[in-house]
Structure 1
Amino acid sequence: MIRTPNFSKNPDGLLPVIVQDAVTKNVLMQAYMNQEAHQKTLDQKRVWFYSRSKNRLWLKGEQSKNYLNLVAISYDCDQDSILVKVNPEGPTCHLGSDTCWGESNALSSIDFIKTLENVIEQRISDEQKNSYVSSLVQKGINKVAQKVGEEAVELVIESMDNNEQAFLEESADLLFHYMVLLKAKGYSINDSLAILEKRHQNR
């Protein structure tokens, strides 16, 4: 069943809207929409609200230029609240913070891993000649596996020295190439994590 918002549920014709960053999944702000703001959001792919204090429609970012670009919109089971997923162009709060709760909207380390994995997958599928990942994978699985082995050896060497920065950089190189190998073989890092999780549960 396709859900649609029911603006007639409230006498003022307004429904609460939760705005979520489509990438970080963080909640950025809460506001209200009426039917016209909802339609403008769908038509223009930028988020509109209805201001209860000013009694008018307002485009988020109309003064600050910190627009909220629409990625997806959905409605709860009672059709009386709206979830809007966006790509924000700058801070969301009018006070200058990333969110209206004063929190950072930066990617967590786990979220960054997912983002990096998506980039690797895109590079492989695009087969771009100027892409390091694409060119490496096109040389075959054996070449990718060989590169992972080389990075592992370099990490072992650096682990026996006292250069912490070099050790961490080699760790990052190994992780990156391991993720490339996983994707080249049709797997995700989640497949490896699932095995670790299962082992942990069976302890």
Structure 2
Amino acid sequence: MTIKYDAHGLVPAIIQDVKTKRVLMLGYMNEDAYKKTIETKQVTFFSRSKQRLWTKGEESGHFLNLVDIKNDCDNDTLLIQVNPVGSTCHTGTDTCWGEANSESYGFLSQLEEVIKSRKENADSETSYVASLFKKGINKIAQKVGEEAVETVIEAMDTKDDLFLYESADLLFHYLILLQAKGFTLSDIVKELKGRHK
């Protein structure tokens, strides 16, 4: 791999959890740190403050186990995918940005949070989602069934816009059903991963 080190012999190394895709931290490597990382399969940096090689976890035991290294288009930044052991930040948090190292599904995760909020405030008279939670699991399951049938009907037609509309309704109501049963998308992903061989 061609790496363009800067004038100080360093290259930025972005550390990403291979499973959650969360960025955990940013460090710097020199050529020796890169070579040691490849050799030991544990991410090693060049510490600018200590002026020496530093293997993440050498004191805490919170290692970053190497999975893959990619170079960017200019060959001057590394993306290192890892399986982290424990927290990554020296402050004890999962990431150096204070975020939990949990999987995120983009907008769907945001939607789950809105649904959760509506569930917790089910006394709201203006929320459709809150009204479903008030009616109970049977009504929510019934809505999922109705939306599934409507999605199947539109799938057999040629109007893609209607198919997408009903598919969105189905997914939305399914997310509500998951919350009603005490589950989230992460539980479904875990189940699917368990089946994937």
TM-score when normalising by structure 1: 0.54
Match of 2:42 among 35, 41, 46: 46
Q: RMSD of the alignment, in Å?
A: 3.6
**C-alpha contact (below 8 Å) 1:68/1:88 kept by paired residues:** yes
Identity %: 46
Match of 2:96 among 96, 100, 103: 100
In the alignment, is residue 56 of structure 1 matched against residue 52 of structure 2? yes
Which position in structure 1 is the counterpart of 2:131? Answer: none
In the alignment, is residue 159 of structure 1 matched against residue 138 of structure 2? yes
How far off is 1:108 after superposition? 2.6
Secondary structure of the residue aligned to 1:16 is strand
Which position in structure 2 is the counterpart of 1:188? Answer: none
How far off is 1:107 after superposition? 1.6
How far off is 1:70 after superposition? 0.5
Match of 1:31 among 4, 13, 27: 27
TM-score when normalising by structure 2: 0.56
Secondary structure of the residue aligned to 1:159 is helix
Secondary structure of the residue aligned to 1:38 is helix
Classify 1:48/1:160 alpha carbon distance in 2 versus 1 (closer, same or farther; 3 Å). Answer: same
**Partner letter of residue 59 of structure 1?**
T
Query: Over residues 101-143 of structure 1, what are the superposed CA-to-partner deviations in whole Å (9 max), with x where a residue is unaligned?
Result: 1111112357xxxxxxxxxxxxxxxxxxxxxxxxxxxxxxxxx
Which position in structure 1 is the counterpart of 2:2? Answer: 4
Secondary structure of the residue aligned to 1:41 is helix
Match of 1:74 among 62, 70, 78: 70
Which position in structure 2 is the counterpart of 1:16? Answer: 12
Classify 1:12/1:108 alpha carbon distance in 2 versus 1 (closer, same or farther; 3 Å). Answer: same
**Partner letter of residue 80 of structure 2?**
V
Query: Over residues 39-62 of structure 1, what are the superposed CA-to-partner deviations in whole Å (9 max), with x where a residue is unaligned?
Result: 111111110000001100000000
1:123-202 aligned within 5 A: 159=138, 168-169=180-181
In the alignment, is residue 84 of structure 1 matched against residue 84 of structure 2? no
Dislocated runs of 4+, deviation >6 Å: 164-167
**Partner letter of residue 19 of structure 1?**
I
How far off is 1:86 after superposition? 0.5
Tell me how many residue pairs correspond in the alignment. Answer: 129
How far off is 1:77 after superposition? 1.2
How far off is 1:96 after superposition? 0.3
